[in-house]
Every structure is written in structure tokens, then in C-alpha cells.
Amino acid sequence: MMVRNKRVLYIVLLAILTVVMAGCGSTASSKAKMVQGKVNVVTSFYPLYEFTRNIGGEYVNAINLVPAGVEPHDWSPKSRDIKNMTQAQVFVYQGAGFEGWVQDFLGSLSADSTLKVVEASKGADLIKTTENKEEYDPHAWLSPLNAVKMANNIKMALIEADPAHKDVFEQNYTEYAAKLTDLDARYKKEIALTSKKEIAVSHHAFAYLCRDYGLTQMSIMGLSPDAEPTAQDLKKMNEFLKEHGLKYIFFEELVSDKLAKTLAKDAKVDTMVLNPIEGLTDEQMKAGKDYISIMDENLKNLVIALQ
């Protein structure tokens, strides 16, 4: 019993370390600048940046607030970011409670501000959290069909900001939405064939993916990846792995994998990446990876884990 308690204590200590490490990255800010003659769009985090670039094409200068390699849940804007947001023509944020700092920023805008503000998740099919019925799970971008709705909200704002290029934005949107719909079809087809329907994850980010494709997630942490798990959470995870005969615990690149690896070792299972696409690393950006290619990598790993 003593040994068991020590191990739980060790795991909890690791979780605290994860919180500290996640906090370190949050001082970074985007170095990007405004471009004359284009619609300058500031986005709060990676998926919105990616959707904006695909729809805006050459007529839009997209600036992403959270830099590469930084986890966005605990990020907040610095003075340079606020300057970028107030100078831009369009500001896109996720909403559904994802960016805790947004209401303060919007409240600080002057009455004559012409900034077009887009809440990307508006009109998306949102999931309420079980902990609090008034709150939503913000991770709506992990449903490709919700991503189509988010992309549509961005398209509408771009047309408003630059009506002369309406046809281009409509065309780009139609093409990108078709890619997202194809992605959804690949998920439906491949996950329908798997024998298992449960996933063990470090961060509770996959409710939309689970809803769309008939899966159930059990997470070590909460809706934010730095929420500290209790000994009870860890015990539940262990039982979940055993009950469903799972062979993998999924972790993500932007948060320390120590806790997932420790738990996996304890339960005698392996770890694999399931990326919640809250941000890309520098290496992923340089390698030309994007929302769709990472969603396809996720699908490949899911199919392996669900056999």
C-alpha cells in the first residue's frame, strides 16, 4: 500500500511540474506585422489562422497570436499582441470559453473601433460540459463538420472587410469546405471498421471527435491540459484501460508527456500522439503540416489504437 501511495504522489508531482512547464511558454507573443493593401486578420490560435489563410489566400495577411510550440489554454496577449489586434481589420477568436482573456480585450476597444470581431464557434454544434451546464467544451474544431461552420463565419467576415474579393473568398471557402467534408468521410469510414470504441487521452479535448465518430474518451486531465489530476482520476484511468483492453494512452506534443508515459508504464500500455491541434510546433510548420494533414495522422493512430 505504501508503494502504491508513493507512486500516486510521484504522478501528482509530475502533474504539478507539467503546469509549471506549460506556464513557461505563455510569455511568448507573435512577431508578425500588419501588411498594407491586404486584409489584416488576427486570429487567436492555430486552427483559426489555418482556416483564414485558406479562405483569404493572397488578399489576406493572417497573424496568429499564439506562437508556434505554445499551448494556448493558459496564454494571454502581451502589449504587442493587443497593438496588432487593434490595428487589424478583422479579429477571429474561438469563443465557447476557450480564450479567457477575450472579454477584457473586447471591453477595452474604443467606441469608434472598426475592428470586425468574429466568434468562430458561433452556430457550430457545441457540446455542453457535464461539470457545468452553462459552459461549453471549446474544442469544436476537432469536428471537421464544425470546422466547416467556423470557416464559413471567417469567410463572411472577410467578405465584409473586402467586398471586392467576395468571389475569390467564396471559391476558396467552397474548395476548403470540400476538403474538410472529405476528411469527415475518411473518419466515418475508417472508424466504423474498428473493433474498439474507447480512447484514453491525456487532455479532455476530443468530445467532438468522439461524438461525430461514436467514440468515448477517458482523460487524465480536464478540459485544459494543465488541470491537475487527482489520485482518483488516475485510478479511474487505470480501470478504464483494463476494462476495455486498451493498449495505448494518447498524449500531445505541446504539453509534457511525462504523466502519460508514467501512467502507461504503470498500466503496461504504450503511448501514441493524438494531436488536439491547438498549435503546431516550429518543426511541424517547417515540414508543411497543417490542420488536415495532422487530422489524418490522428486518424492513422486512432485506427491502430482501436484495433
Binding segment for Zn ion (CB under 5 A), chosen from 57-65, 198-206, 229-237, 296-304, is 198-206
Do the beta carbons of residue 279 and residue 70 sit within 8 Å? yes
Q: Where are the beta strands (DSSP E) in the chain?
A: 39-43, 60-64, 90-93, 116-119, 127-128, 136-137, 198-201, 216-219, 248-251, 270-273
Q: Which of 231, 269, 233, 232 is nearest to 251 (CA)?
A: 269
Closer of 70 and 205 to Zn ion (Cβ) = 205
Q: How far is the CB of 105 from Zn ion (least distance, A)?
A: 20
Q: Which is nearer to Zn ion, 203 or 247 (CB)?
A: 203
- Total residues at the site for Zn ion (CB under 5 A)? 1
- Nearer to Zn ion (CB atom), residue 45 or residue 169: 45
61 vs 34: CA distance, rounded Å: 7
Decide: is 199 part of the binding site for Zn ion (CB under 5 A): no
Residue 220 contacts residue 238 (beta carbons within 8 Å): no
184 versus 278: smaller Cβ distance to Zn ion: 278
Rounded CA gap, 223 and 142, in Å?
Answer: 13
In the complex, the smallest distance separating the C-beta of residue 173 from Zn ion, rounded to whole angstroms, is 26
CB 60 → Zn ion: shortest distance, Å?
26
Instruction: State the pairing for strand pair 136-137/198-201.
Output: unpaired
Report d(CA 54, CA 26) in Å as an integer: 27
Looking at beta carbons only, is 98 or 176 nearer to Zn ion?
Answer: 98
200-219: which residues touch Zn ion (CB under 5 A)? 205
- What x-and-dash track marks residues 3-42 binding Zn ion by CB under 5 A? ----------------------------------------
In the complex, least distance from residue 15 CB atom to Zn ion, rounded to whole angstroms: 16
Query: Beta partners for 127?
Result: 137
**Rounded to an integer, what distance in angstroms lies between the CA atom of residue 234 and that of residue 223?**
16
Beta carbon nearer to Zn ion, 162 or 212: 212
Nearest approach, Cβ of residue 223 and Zn ion (Å): 6
For every residue of 129-141, DSSP letters joined together read: -SS-TT-EE--GG
CB of 79 to Zn ion, least distance (A): 26
Question: In the complex, what is the shortest distance from the CB of residue 138 to Zn ion, in angstroms, rounded to a whole number?
Answer: 7
Closest separation between CB of residue 87 and Zn ion, Å? 28
Q: In sequence order, what are the residues at sequence separation of 6 or more whose Cβ sits closer than 8 angstroms to the Cβ of residue 285?
A: 68
Query: Cell 474579393 identifies what position?
Result: 165
Report the residue number, 11 or 140, with the smaller CB distance to Zn ion: 140
Please give the C-alpha separations between residue 218 and each of 55, 159, 167, 198, 244, in angstroms, as whole numbers: 35, 41, 44, 8, 11
Closest residue to Zn ion, judged by C-beta, is: 205
Beta strands 127-128 and 136-137, pairing class: antiparallel
Between residues 154 and 205, which has the closer beta carbon with respect to Zn ion?
205
Length of the chain: 307
The residues binding Zn ion (CB under 5 A) are 205
